[in-house]
Structure 1
Amino acid sequence: MKVSITENAHRKIASKEHNIYIAEGIDQHQSTQIAPLSLLKPFSPDFNCQILKKQKTIESQLNQLIGQPFYTDDGFMLYQGDAMDFLPKIDSAQVEFDLTVTSPPYNIGKEYELPMSVEEYIKWCSQWMYQIHRITKLNGAFWLNVGYLEVPNQGLCVPIPYLLWDKSPFYLLQEVVWQYGAGVSTKHRLSPRNEKWLFYIKNSEEYTFNLDDIRDPNVKYPNQKKNGKYRCNPLGKNPSDVWEFPKVTTGTKRSSKERTGHPSQFPLGIVERVIRASSNQLELVLDPFAGSCSTGIASVGLGRIFVGFEIRQDYCEMAVNRFQEFKRQRDYHSQVESE
């Protein structure tokens, strides 16, 4: 939809002809919703019973290992504590997960981080990645979202995947580039507008990958043929290894509705695609650095069982409030659909 975008009378645009935002009235900012509609669809009563039954079983196992959850409801289990304490205890009891999706601290001075040297950071990451490998099912996967950090005297914006990709027993299947519009503005280097997801699997010969569940229906030539056969799957194209999802933004008239007070929140849309691709309904999804629980909300919205660890109480409280708001939105959506 075109909108009216005009110049400021006191600040002229350098070239209207080469600025599509002015010339064509295009506002490409996409403000994300509290949750995509695809995560708000209700499940059948029978399926909800299956979720609760499996949740109770897993919760009973975990409670014996790591104590009572901070919060639990409808396939969502959040534990307050340090992942480095929890993961070895789970490993000792042989509880296994189908998928882990997480974004750990980047060691760049955020409020939730303890300062480490680059060497200490790599060692710390290697330790918990190794533990995740041990509690991942044989056909399971691990998706890791990481950005950049400074390596003193060597590089300012060093992609963390360069430092971590081989620091665990996982098999790196590929790197996915997450491209977004909003980000840090710079004057002495190019403005960063992407982060990476590392797609790991435990067994290179057999792993869950549901391509049909994540196909992109936006195909430019859907009826194109080669040798008399359609070239494109009727469900859409493979979304490739470059994903464009709007970042969770702040600011007047630009703030994403899903935005919480967490300083490093990734959007539900991107984690939804990850969970669809690498897990199935009723399977276990883990986030050892849960933060605002984007992984948890997407997991529950897709009929998976979520287990999250978060060391800070204020983030746990934030995540619970967010999950409860998500449930209210889903209930409302269900009522509207039934009318």
Structure 2
Amino acid sequence: MKMLKVLDLFCGSGGLSYGFSKVGFEVAYGLDNWKPAVETFSKNHPKSKCVKVDITKVSDEKLRKWFLDVDVIVGGPPCQGFSTSGKRALDDPRNRLVREFLRAIKALKPKAFVMENVEGFVNFNKGKLVFELIDEFEKCGYQLSYGVLDSVNFGIPQKRKRFFVIGIEGTKPSLPTPTHSSSVKNCTLPGSELKRPYIFWDAVSDLPLVGSGEKAEEYASPPQNDYQKELRKKARRLTLHEAPNHRPQMVELIKYIPQGKSAFEVMDDIPPHLRPTSGYPNSYKRIKLDEPAPTVTRNFTTPSSANCIHPLVHRALTLREGARIQSFPDDYEFVGSFTDKRLLIGNAVPPLLSLAIAKELANKIGMNKS
């Protein structure tokens, strides 16, 4: 059976297509309008063709010219989820990239597709947007499965819920079955067949405990578990383990924040001159060492914007720690500035989640039959 060709729309760093390259698909194409994303995708898929372009400016004819032989389309179109009263949610210009994903499906008619979005996608416009989209996919002849998947249930040390739609021509698809429990406590219950979830420390215990503004280029130890062994398999040296360089006042503030708490929950313990005056509920929050990490966001090196303070060190996460929690292999290369790399890591679909999805899809379309 010939390798089925995959197109990764809005490809970013390539997290969503990563798994497909590991189970017999050919990740042949990528598309994004951001240079660091295109260069990162190309670096990790050197045989692929990645196009830097704004898809809204590409005609159906040109899409077919570039990607005519595509069998599978994957993508996570950014979406604001708005709708003007009385109009179709899909027609609202603020949802145009979701509409562009649909247009690509209609133009290229792949055998299958996978679309990813934020967990709240199912509730946008009281569900109107998702139902309109599902109706359009079904009109195109696809059978669908859709729902919310949490990364922690698939061997990733992070609680990260995202909405997925999987479509296949002529065959009913299914979402992958969880392999790991959501909580360390639940996996020990009698009758539980799920594995213990990976926790924050499982992901990073072999990395040096660098302080604010410090960096390291050597591992602190050999791999401590199967997760680390897998991610370090092809890595020759430690990279991206550079801590954000916080102001002294930020470091002093962080010292007062215990694991699992934000500064706003312990304000009485913090000297008045260090207390933050604004922020989100999860701002200035310290991660718990012995639980799965919280969702890695695009701001995971900025304590004022995310739940990202290291459990043991008075700083936010390094890029390597963020990539580990996202399940990127240590040899995966990110191109661009420190900020570019942070965005590429934080906005990605975890590669090991894409692997679970790709395996399930390969099963359904008969790729695993001898």
Normalised to the residue count of structure 1, the TM-score between the two structures is 0.39
Q: Select the structure that is richer in strand.
A: 1
What TM-score results when the alignment is normalised by the length of structure 2? 0.36
